[in-house]
Amino acid sequence: MKKQLLLPICFLFVISISTAQPPGQDKSKLEKERQDIQKELSEIQGLYDKVRGQKKQTLGQLTVLNRKINLQEQYVSSINKELRSIDDDIYLSNLEIYRLNKQLDTLKSQYARTVVYAYRNRSNYDFLNFIFSANSFNDALKRIAYLKSYRAYRTKQVENIIETQDLIAKRKQQQLGRKDQKNLALENKTKQIEELAVQKKEKDGVVSQLKSKENDLKKQIAAKKKKDRDLQNAISAIVRREIEAAKKEAEAKAKAEAEARKRREAESGTAKTNTESKTTDKPTGTTEKPTTTVVGDVEKGESRYKPFEKPDSYLDFNSSDVALNDKFEFNKGKLPWPVDNGVVTLKFGSNKIDNTLLTFDNPGITIATPSSGVSVKSIFDGEVVSVFNLGDGMVVTVRHGKYFTTYSNLSSVSVSKGTKLKTGQTIGRAGKDDSGAGGQVDFILMAETRNIDPRPWLR
């Protein structure tokens, strides 16, 4: 009898049920990427609609169309990432459902065995005989506690079975939801691919017309190169002027410090001579500890002011410039854009016209805006060091320590040379683009005389 009663002990370990969601990719990051692409697509769509169908094909139209196609391809790629994420979730969810089904089979099997055992030992005689056959009173109490825990275990088994069944149903419902999402994503992908095909076909038409008018295209590129060259020369002259001014200031300061050092050393020498003369007047045989003469920061005839040394950069020499440069570099990747709702149509560096051998270098980035007249803002604290007219638009150059930002093709400006600027402060208005359909700003970033790509610096 005791052997039979000891059999259920193996069922007293309750199996834990995992309630964790199946792991997956970081969906929030993927969603943020898609939202950013959709936002830029929406912004460039207005520009694209304005240049579409114009009789005269220009370089500006092709660059807007290229940017639109590039964004469309990024959007399709983002949908593909979403589809892969959904497939991963479905696969992991299938594994979870399989595991839960196996767990449910185990729970049911264990519960069936306890039911069979309880049925076989259902008489009150067996119950009482098990208790009164105890060797002591304490042993009897333990047997009563065991029977209670066994009864609670069977109740817990039923609860585990119900909970597992609910989890399986929940996972299956999630499966249906993810499959619906996949179907919607596939439909969206098909739609975007069709849109991309239309845009590429239109791009081929624009490129074909531009190639047929290659001389006109060469003239456009030549005009841009000349404009960029004139602009670059003007900015380089401004930067050299600022470096020269900073050099003169540093040298003047060093000269003043050297003269002050000489005066202090002369005063220190006079004081030392007076002290020695007083010492010689003292009685012979008396000794006195040498006096250390300190005048200002001069001790033992040594000055903390070192001779002037040429710095690596005169624009990173004064404490105010050093602090400003550090702040500017610290904010790399977080600097605001010079315009709201702008789209980069020409990248920094080499640009090539599709299916042609025509190339040109862009000293900065060209940003298209929905319309001319939008506000152009300073991307960081600084000082306006130049405002000039390039012929077809105004130009503003701002110094941020050893960094310089230039905002070109402005229809008007609201600052003057010497104006102290704060981040986001308006400096002027955007001028018209080459087609006249929208606005455009040419933005250049330089570290002293070296042009650098602004994109990694902007948020």
Give the per-residue pLDDT at 424: 93
Residues 19-67 pLDDT 10s: 444 444 467 777 777 777 777 777 776 666 665 555 555 666 777 777 7
Confidence of residue 292 (pLDDT cuts 50, 70, 90): very low
Comparison of pLDDT for 302 and 133, the residue scoring more? 133
User: Pairing mode, if any, of strands 349-352 and 359-362?
Assistant: antiparallel
Which residue is associated with the tokens 């593909």? 80
pLDDT of 410 higher than 80 = yes
d(CA 234, CA 444): 12
Asked if residue 380 has pLDDT above 90, the reply is yes
> Does 284 have pLDDT greater than 60?
no
Q: Which of 88, 412, 406 is nearest to 233 (CA)?
A: 406
How high is the pLDDT of residue 60?
Answer: 66
Q: 302 falls in which pLDDT band (50, 70, 90)?
A: very low
List the domain boundaries for the chain.
2-12+26-212, 343-457
Percentage above 90 pLDDT, the chain: 21
Reported as type and span, the H/E element at residue 295 is strand 294-295
Q: Which position has the token pair 């059999």?
A: 7
**Contact by Cβ (8 Å): 406, 379:** no
Domain at 343-457, CATH homologous superfamily: Glucose Permease (Domain IIA) (2.70.70.10)
Q: How far apart are CA 338 and CA 236, in angstroms?
A: 21
Quick one: average pLDDT of 161-171? 84
pTM of the model: 0.62
pLDDT, average across residues 408-435: 91
Mean residue pLDDT of the chain comes to: 77
CA-to-CA dists, residue 24 to 5, 21, 85, 166, angstroms: 47, 9, 7, 22
Chain-centre distance for alpha carbon 253? 41
CA distance 75 to 65: 15
366-388 mean pLDDT: 91
The torsion region of residue 62 among left (phi > 0), alpha (psi -120 to 50) and beta comes to alpha
User: Yes or no: is domain 2-12+26-212 CATH 1.10.287?
Assistant: yes
